[in-house]
């Protein structure tokens, strides 16, 4: 029988997952349509470098405001900016730069984590997620993220949609493609950092991209795709929470597993009935 504390932690975790589903469904739809899942994965893994450096400085030099989250934001924005610049200026080298940023961030993170004294439970939470320890402050952050994403959607959706489907046409219409592409990458970077607390940096791509990819099987229009992706992400979060409770599994990983299995089943059904 679940105690009050167990109920409280479970509801907090599920609330965090549901709030995260709004941002992940919307931003993930852009990621899937633009076909920049690899870029999102690179940003998600490169933030480990910022986390490791800031945790090292915080512990060794006793600088309390240098939190791993702040380091993750810094590296996410820097990584997104470098990838965006490469996409605009040196598109033929884009894949290599993305892979280099991915590897560099992970390498720096591992090195500084190994140099940091003490048991680095904070880093384990960011790597693998620790949604069961979600706090009211975490829920507020996710609610603010959802608000920010909805505001950006209201003001920039039409332009984002055009650069996602046809950059050349957007250029011909005089739309500032370069600036908008950087805005889109920055929004992806911020979303990734704040969602890391749900499933961790290792599994973030599954929550960000798989519900949107599944939604793409039902509609090719971007706004309906976002709505379906949000609903699917919420449903998969609920399924993950139930399975986690029933079988005593890590909640973040279980949500990611439910998303992956659903994506594979949806792909199989599409092929079977097409």
- Distances in Å between the Cα of 20 and the Cα atoms of 17, 105, 190 are 5, 24, 12
For residue 215, pLDDT over 80 is answered with yes
For residue 192, pLDDT over 60 is answered with yes
pLDDT of residue 222: 94
* Mean pLDDT, residues 3-19: 75
Domain extents for the chain?
4-268
Q: CB neighbours of 218 closer than 8 A, spacing ≥ 6?
A: 225, 228
Which two structure tokens, joined as six digits, stand for 86?
């490469």
pLDDT of residue 54: 93
The residue written with tokens 């610049």 in the block is 85
Nearest-angstrom CA–CA distance, 260 and 215: 13
pTM here is 0.91
- Mean pLDDT, all residues of the chain: 87
3-state secondary structure of 81: helix
Degrees to nearest 5, angle at CA 46 with 26 and 136: 55
The model's pLDDT over 71-85, given as tens digits with 9 standing for 90+, comes to: 999 999 999 999 888
What's the per-residue H, E or C state across 121-190?
HHHHHHHHCCHHHCCHHHHHHHHHHHHHHHHHHHHHHHHHHHHHHCHHHHHHCCCCHHHHHHHHHHHHHH
pLDDT of residue 188: 94
For residue 2, pLDDT over 60 is answered with no
Per the CB < 8 A criterion, the answer to whether 122 and 56 are in contact is no
Which of residues 222 and 120 earns the better pLDDT score? 222
The CATH classification of domain 4-268, taken from the options 2.40.50.180, 1.10.3470.10, 3.40.50.300, 3.10.310.70: 1.10.3470.10
* Mean pLDDT, residues 137-163: 92
Which of residues 4 and 242 earns the better pLDDT score? 242
Which of residues 122 and 184 earns the better pLDDT score? 184
pLDDT of residue 190: 92
């Amino acid at each position: 029988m679940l105690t009050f504390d167990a109920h409280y932690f479970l509801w907090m975790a599920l609330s965090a997952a549901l709030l995260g589903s709004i941002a992940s469904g919307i931003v993930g739809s852009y990621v899937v349509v633009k076909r920049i899942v690899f870029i999102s994965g690179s940003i998600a893994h490169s933030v480990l470098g910022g986390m490791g450096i800031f945790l090292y400085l915080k512990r060794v030099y006793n600088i309390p405001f240098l939190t791993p989250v702040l380091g993750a934001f810094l590296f996410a924005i820097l990584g997104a900016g470098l990838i965006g610049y490469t996409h605009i200026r040196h598109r033929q080298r884009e894949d290599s730069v993305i892979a280099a940023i991915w590897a560099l961030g992970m390498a720096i993170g591992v090195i500084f984590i190994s140099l940091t004294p003490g048991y680095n439970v904070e880093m384990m939470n960011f790597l693998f997620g620790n949604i069961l320890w979600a706090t009211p402050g975490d829920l507020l952050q996710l609610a603010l993220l959802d608000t920010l994403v909805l505001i950006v959607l209201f003001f920039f959706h039409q332009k984002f949609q055009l650069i996602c489907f046809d950059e050349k046409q957007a250029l011909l219409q005089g739309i500032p493609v370069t600036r908008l592409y950087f805005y889109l990458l920055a929004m992806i970077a911020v979303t990734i950092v704040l969602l890391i607390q749900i499933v961790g940096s290792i599994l973030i791509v599954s929550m960000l991209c798989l519900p949107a990819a599944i939604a793409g099987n039902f509609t090719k229009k971007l706004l309906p795709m976002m709505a379906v992706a949000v609903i699917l992400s919420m449903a998969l979060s609920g399924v993950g929470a139930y399975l986690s409770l029933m079988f005593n599994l890590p909640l973040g990983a279980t949500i990611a597993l439910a998303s992956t299995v659903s994506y594979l089943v949806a792909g199989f059904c599409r092929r079977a009935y097409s």
